Amino acid sequence: MSQRIPVTELTSSFRGRAKEALADSQLRTNFRVAMDSLMQKRADAFPDEQEREGLRELGNHIKARALSQLPDLLEQLEAKLTENGVNVHWAETTEEANHIVHSIIESKQGSQVVKGKSMVSEEMEMNDYLAARGIECLESDMGEYIVQLDGEKPSHIIMPAIHKNRQQVAQLFHNKLGVEETDDVNELIQIGRRTLRKKFMEADVGVSGVNFAIAETGTLLLVENEGNGRMSTTVPPVHVAVTGIEKVVENVRDVVPLLSLLTRSALGQPITTYVNMISGPRQPEELDGPEEVHLVLLDNGRSAAFADAQLRQTLNCIRCGACMNHCPVYTRVGGHTYGEVYPGPIGKIVTPHMVGLKQVPDHPSASSLCGACGEVCPVKIPIPELLQRLRQENVKSPDESSSVNGAGAKYSRKERALWRIWASLNTRPVLYKCFLWAATRFAKLTPSKLGPWTDNHTAPIPARRSLHDLANAHLNTKKNPGGQP
């Protein structure tokens, strides 16, 4: 029997964090309320099932088509953007990407950066990287700003501060900004607006993510509701966009269904307040907009996922968050339990490629495989299927080959041996009969502790006679009418 690890050490693992989150009733309420509402909003945004399914299929085909010619499209995107006056950079690792961003800022002697919401910059831990080099990097999305102010990480990819309620935000603003405490949401947002507007004005560089990069025209498309994305990409003299290599699509028209799928799946909105399409820096006669635009294309494990035709589907993702909104596990344990940038079902299939299974060994199994994530995914990523695949990779022995980073993280000789015994029992009738006979006759010898199973259940006690025996006995009495009625 494996040793129970003390709770204090457990908090650095998925299990430990899950236990803590489950015990936090405020957190659970915050998530339950938010996820119920997001699920309802999505359902309302897709009233026509046929329309929805047709669009999901189309979304899947568009992404699959883009991935099937990804290197060519990336080159086309680069050529078009360059033609439009945008500087394109490539980074294999987050370290390289940070270095590129830092060099750009340094070349402008910049000290203040304002950032629109970008999950890729979270991947890079750009804020910390720049802070360590004396550059302030401020989040400007209201949710991200709240989270950053509290020294936390986002708990949801669309709604970063969804784990907090208004009283918690009120307290935070009061403590950190010295404003009078108010739990009026409008008032809180206005406080954020005033504080950040000053920052937009002063910033030397604006950083943003990208929702879709269009190869045909060399266009970076960003969606948002607040206007902070437009501010970050328009006001500072330099705009640096960071994105994953999987965000490229072939044509402008491809974004029509993808955009609709994205905003309806994420927030139940027919469209976001702003769809910001950037195809170049300020033109000679223009009066605003950045003088320089840069795009950093980041790999960070994506090409490894790409190498495997099945796992490649992970890269269909358009980061809508619908999978987490519908996930019974995510809703209960919250986003921070996952301990990584991308939480929820998509996090479980994308993170292993970025950080390796060794760092997130519990990710593939933190799922009931209920299938809700796959059912709502706007680009039809078969998430449950990919989770099962990662489970297999997770228990591969060191001498089995695998394309997945950190495969075999949960390999155990003991488990392997047990399964081998189980398999031989079930494939050898004589052995099986002997085992069955012994198990039913010596049922009382079953240990009362059976690993994690008995943490929450009583140990199973085998019946006194097997179903096989009972059936045989039953058939014998039928054949023998002289027996008991």
Partner 1 sequence: MSARNNILNKLRAGLEGTTPRPDDFDEALVIEPWQYAPEDRIQRLRSLMEAVHTEVDTLPAADWPAKAQALLDSRNLRNVLYAPSTEHGQQLAEHWADAGAKQLLVAYDRPIEEWKDELFWQVDASVTGTAGAIAATGSLVLWPDRHEPRLMSLLPPLHIALLKASEIEDNLYRMMQKQNWAAGLPSNLLLVSGPSKTADIEQVLAYGAHGPKELVVLILEDA
Can you tell me which of 12, 26, 68, 472 binds partner 1, judged by CB under 8 A?
68
Q: Which residue, 54 or 452, is less far from partner 1 as judged by CB? A: 54
Q: Which residue, 189 or 473, is less far from partner 1 as judged by CB? A: 189
State the greatest distance between any 2 C-alpha atoms of the chain, in Å, as a whole number: 107
Q: Which residue, 16 or 301, is less far from partner 1 as judged by CB? A: 301
Work out the angle at residue 365's Cα, subtended by the Cα atoms of residues 362 and 368, and round it to the nearest 5 degrees. Answer: 140
Q: Are 90 and 71 in contact (CB under 8 A)?
A: no
Q: Of 299, 216, 294, give the one whose Cα is nearest residue 256.
A: 216
Q: Are 119 and 343 in contact (CB under 8 A)?
A: no
Q: Which residue, 111 or 251, is less far from partner 1 as judged by CB? A: 251
Q: Of 295, 121, 119, give the one whose Cα is nearest residue 218.
A: 295
Q: Which of residues 312-331 bind partner 1 (CB under 8 A)?
A: 312
First to last CA, the chain: 48
CB of 380 to partner 1, least distance (A): 14
Q: Which of residues 404-433 bind partner 1 (CB under 8 A)?
A: none
Q: Which residue, 140 or 331, is less far from partner 1 as judged by CB? A: 140
Q: Which of residues 27-66 bind partner 1 (CB under 8 A)?
A: 30, 33-34, 37-38, 48, 51, 54-55, 58, 61-62, 64-65
Q: Which of residues 178-197 bind partner 1 (CB under 8 A)?
A: 185-186, 188-190, 192-193, 196-197
84 is a contact residue toward partner 1 (CB under 8 A): yes
CB of 143 to partner 1, least distance (A): 4
Site string for partner 1, 145-164 (x = CB under 8 A): -x------------xxxx-x
Q: Which residue, 308 or 385, is less far from partner 1 as judged by CB? A: 308
Calculate the alpha carbon distances from 403 to 119, 307, 310, 386 in Å.
Answer: 25, 8, 11, 14
Q: Are 183 and 170 in contact (CB under 8 A)?
A: yes
Q: Which residue, 16 or 268, is less far from partner 1 as judged by CB? A: 268
Site string for partner 1, 245-284 (x = CB under 8 A): x----xxxxx-xx-xx------x--xxxxxxxxxxxxxx-
297 is a contact residue toward partner 1 (CB under 8 A): yes
Can you tell me which of 121, 127, 208, 228 binds partner 1, judged by CB under 8 A?
228
Tokens 């929450």 sit at which residue? 456
Q: Give the integer Cα–Cα distance in Å for 268 and 289.
A: 31
CB of 34 to partner 1, least distance (A): 6
Complete edge-to-edge strand list for the sheet that includes strand 238-244? 86-91, 292-298, 238-244, 205-208, 112-115, 136-139
Q: Which of residues 434-473 bind partner 1 (CB under 8 A)?
A: none
110 is a contact residue toward partner 1 (CB under 8 A): no
Q: Retrieve residue 291's tokens.
A: 């003088």
Backbone angles phi, psi at 230, to 5 degrees: -65, -40
177 is a contact residue toward partner 1 (CB under 8 A): no
Site string for partner 1, 355-394 (x = CB under 8 A): ----------------------------------------
Q: Which of residues 125-144 bind partner 1 (CB under 8 A)?
A: 140-143
Q: Give the integer Cα–Cα distance in Å for 316 and 68.
A: 11
Q: Give the integer Cα–Cα distance in Å for 54 and 67.
A: 20
CB of 275 to partner 1, least distance (A): 4
Backbone angles phi, psi at 208, to 5 degrees: -145, 170
